[in-house]
Amino acid sequence: MQLNKERIWTKSFLVVCLSSFFMFLTFYILATAFPLYVKDNLHGNEQQMGLAITIYVIGGVLLRFFSGQWVDRFGKKKMAVIGMTVFLAACICYFGAKGILLFLVVRFVHGMSYAVASTATSTAASAMIPDSRQGEGMGYFSMFMSIAMVIGPAMGLYLWKDKNINVLLLAVSAIAALSLLFTLLIKLPRQRGSAPLAEAEEHAVLPAGSTAGDAASAGPAALAAAPSALTAPAAGRRKRLSFSDFIEPKAVPISLVGFILAFSYSSLSGFMSSFTSEIHQTQVTSYFFVVFAVMIVAFRPVIGKIFDQYKEHYLYYPGILLFAVGMVMLSQAHSSAMVLIDGVIMGIGYGALLPCFQALAIKLSPAHRRGSANGTFFLLFDLGYGLGSYFMGMIASYSDYRMMYLVAGVIPILSVAVYYILHHRHEAKRAVGKQEARAA
């Protein structure tokens, strides 16, 4: 029985992974193809190419403030279904968005739906993973995002090769429909211990031996049976909202480090095709993304086990160094072979960092605040991605892509100071405090 509790790969976990995969596949296809659409069909410059991504992320960032709270309050599956339904509707609405203004409006709404759906699915996945294997489990979950990263950019370039927007939109609408289908098939496990309000409502019944406090979390029917279970603090939280209702404070430090990584990473998905064209190596673009993501997938099982068995510092410092070095090397690349080597180096580094950050955001936060922790992480990660896309486009428009990638390589180094001050040093002090407490 204990072995069953420690399993990661269940039917429910695979379903939520596939739901996330198809959603991110849509994201990466459009993140690669839409800047080219703006350039080729709407005759935009590099800044406007970046805006096609930035406006999407702005919509996502605005909803991230609420998505975590909504997931915790109304339930993971309910919010995942709502988010994915709007996500699919936005893909269909692109057919009618012929002008740049309407196009950007749809992108904005699309980003909002992505924020809700991704927060809900990642929180659902974390609820299905045993606590002792969170690092490994979230690593596998984010591996599906990495596989989407393998296929998405290459598919985006392939679907755009004839510059036919209708073919592109038909494909992404079909993929988004698959994501919604798998979202509808998600089955959540019973909560371990007491559950928040929304989760108890999703399961409809309480486990045997529940206390009055558990009944208070089960919804209106249980509250009628145990009205005294609502404590004064709980009632106070319902009357007025605070900053912590939207942001999980314990997830903020590591999410800020993720913000810096995303700021730098944004230069790859939005501008890699234009860069390889500038250095006359257009044929290598798709292969770069494949190599980049294959490295992520190949090392993912090892990364998760290192996180669960050792300190996260063993992943962060080597990972950020590899990513930064690879980006600087990319800025100096002149051949296809060099571009692919840089993809290998950055893929290993990025593959160590992303699941580490996401698992830390969950690990450092209370169990009943996983939705808010995920929302906080993605809020800052998406914000970094969106602002980075626009900022990198500005650098490219005023100089060239080599300078842009050089700057993108320096930025991750800045995260080392942020990581050490906000997380590493704090964890070291806490460890010393625990040792002193035991000695006393």
Residue 207: DSSP 8-state = P
Looking at residue 2, what is its pLDDT? 42
Looking at residue 106, what is its pLDDT? 92
- CB under 8 Å to 296, separation ≥6 — which residues? 143, 146, 149, 347, 348, 350, 351, 354
Q: Which two tokens stand for residue 72?
A: 């915790």
378 in Cβ contact with 122 (< 8 Å): yes
For 80-94, the pLDDT digits (tens) are 999 999 999 999 999
d(CA 15, CA 24): 14
Mean pLDDT of 272-286: 87
Q: By 3-state DSSP, what share of the chain in percent is helix, strand and coil, each rounded to 5? A: 85, 0, 15
68 in Cβ contact with 374 (< 8 Å): yes
- What does 41-69 look like in DSSP terms, one character per residue? TS---HHHHHHHHHHHHHHHHHHHHHHHH
Mean confidence (pLDDT) of the chain: 80
- Chain mean position to CA 23: 11
Looking at residue 25, what is its pLDDT? 94
Question: In this structure, what are the phi and psi dihedrals at residue 312, rounded to the nearest 5 degrees?
Answer: -65, -20
387 in Cβ contact with 53 (< 8 Å): no
For 10-23, the pLDDT digits (tens) are 888 999 999 999 99
pTM: 0.69
The three-state secondary structure class of 209 is coil
281 in Cβ contact with 273 (< 8 Å): no
Q: Where are the domains of the chain?
A: 8-187+247-439
d(CA 133, CA 149): 24
Start-to-end CA span in the chain (Å): 38
Query: How would residue 135 be classed by pLDDT, with cut points 50, 70 and 90?
Result: low
For 202-258, the pLDDT digits (tens) are 444 333 333 333 333 333 333 333 333 333 444 444 445 566 666 888 889 999 999
d(CA 61, CA 81): 19
| Rg from Cα positions in the chain | 22
Q: Which two tokens stand for residue 39?
A: 């350039």
Residue 37: DSSP 8-state = H
Q: Which two tokens stand for residue 379?
A: 């809020």
CA 222, 228, 231, 235 dihedral sign is positive
Q: Is the pLDDT of residue 126 over 60?
A: yes
The three-state secondary structure class of 217 is coil
Range 8-187+247-439 classified under CATH 3.30.930.10: no
Q: Is the pLDDT of residue 97 over 90?
A: no
d(CA 115, CA 123): 12
For 348-369, the pLDDT digits (tens) are 999 888 878 877 887 888 877 7
339 in Cβ contact with 165 (< 8 Å): no
Buried b (16+ CB within 10 A) or exposed e, 63-92: bbbbbbbbbbbbbbbbbbbbbbbbbbbbbe
For 384-406, the pLDDT digits (tens) are 888 888 889 889 888 889 999 99
**Ranges of H-type helices in 185-246:** 197-203, 212-216, 220-225, 232-239, 243-246
